[in-house]
Amino acid sequence: MRLVFAGTPAFAAQALEALLQAGHEVVGAMTQPDRPAGRGLKVQASPVKQAAVAAGVPVIQPEGLRLGGRFDAQAQAAQAQLLAWAPEVLVVAAYGLILPAWVLALPPRGCLNIHASLLPRWRGAAPIQRCIEAGDRDTGNTIMQMDAGLDTGAMLLQEAFALAPDETTATLHDRLAAQGARLIVEALARLDALVPTAQPEAGVTYAAKIDKAEGQVDWTQPAAVIERRLRAFDPFPGGSAPLAGEPVKVWRARLGSGQGLPGTVLAWHADGPELACGEGSLVLTQAQRPGGKRGPASAVLKPLGLPVGSRWA
């Protein structure tokens, strides 16, 4: 098919590459403007732009698409380019801009979105993190026909799989990116036969964008909740647990068997200290100090003291 692709991060770039490999005519790509990234905050092109340029696909990067809005000139230029490209279908994956009505109406066969959840669960910006945080047993991708709502469109294709017990956002992202890339190719190949199915009204949840402040570890929470949050917030923002004025990161933990006053060091194990939580306890197994690398919590945290009976503070 003659396609335009709209997306920004690595999750989307994998889908773009799959569409190109499948032989679709990708006549253009839309992605977010180049922005500072990394430790040096150097201006970088998005993964989608990098993939498109490598494949010789023309790229546009409007800061907004709403006609008459703040970026009206850019929106008008984008509209003219999309009309010139004349795609049959617009494929969208983690683009980062809301598509206004004029975009949704432009391709004759619609706009298809790759959404990394089993809709209607986890509509919104952070479905990968929120499903881990919530302790979901299953997740997957939904290919849906976009409409004016927030991930409310009719579903064309959905496929589930089980989360691993030690799943992190990093590992789950990669699994979902590979599945989503495969499913969008399958959906386009079967587009004439797929029957749009309205999302059920029951089971709707929203995956709010991750805020850096959410990484703050609260020892008064149940151990199981903290453990899931550490995995959900890996790689961003990580578990932040200041100790003796030092911004320590806690990346990984396992459930312990002790109990006590939240934040109290109950024991030291080969892989790290065991801390009491609001319910149960956690053995911290991977941590990081400022300027250092992730490592075994036993080695990273030993120099900071933390004798049995002390409080993490």
User: pLDDT band at 41, cuts 50/70/90?
Assistant: confident
pLDDT for res 245: 87
Tell me the mean pLDDT in the region 229-248. 95
Distance of CA 289 to the CA centre of its chain: 25
* Domain ranges (residues) in the chain: 2-207, 212-304
Task: State pLDDT tens for residues 196-213.
Answer: 999 999 999 999 999 999
In the predicted model, is pLDDT for residue 93 greater than 80? yes
Q: What are phi and psi of 215, to 5 degrees?
A: -75, -10
pLDDT for res 303: 92
In the predicted model, is pLDDT for residue 283 greater than 80? yes
In the predicted model, is pLDDT for residue 301 greater than 80? yes
Task: State pLDDT tens for residues 112-163.
Answer: 999 999 999 999 999 999 999 999 999 999 999 999 999 999 999 999 999 9
User: pLDDT band at 227, cuts 50/70/90?
Assistant: very high
pTM: predicted TM-score of the whole model, two decimal places? 0.95
Task: State pLDDT tens for residues 7-18.
Answer: 999 999 999 999
CATH topology of domain 2-207: Rossmann fold (3.40.50)
pLDDT for res 233: 98
pLDDT for res 313: 85
pLDDT for res 39: 74
pLDDT for res 59: 98
Percentage, residues of the chain above pLDDT 70: 100
In the predicted model, is pLDDT for residue 40 greater than 90? no
Tell me the mean pLDDT in the region 83-103. 97
Give the span between the Cα atoms of 125 and 206, in whole angstroms: 8
Give the span between the Cα atoms of 69 and 61, in whole angstroms: 16
Question: At the fourth CATH level, which superfamily is domain 212-304?
Answer: Formyl transferase, C-terminal domain (3.10.25.10)
Tell me the mean pLDDT in the region 217-225. 98
Tell me the mean pLDDT in the region 163-185. 98
> Tokens in use for 109?
């066969």
Between 40 and 261, where is the model more confident? 261
In the predicted model, is pLDDT for residue 240 greater than 90? yes
Tell me the mean pLDDT in the region 59-78. 96
Percentage, residues of the chain above pLDDT 90: 96
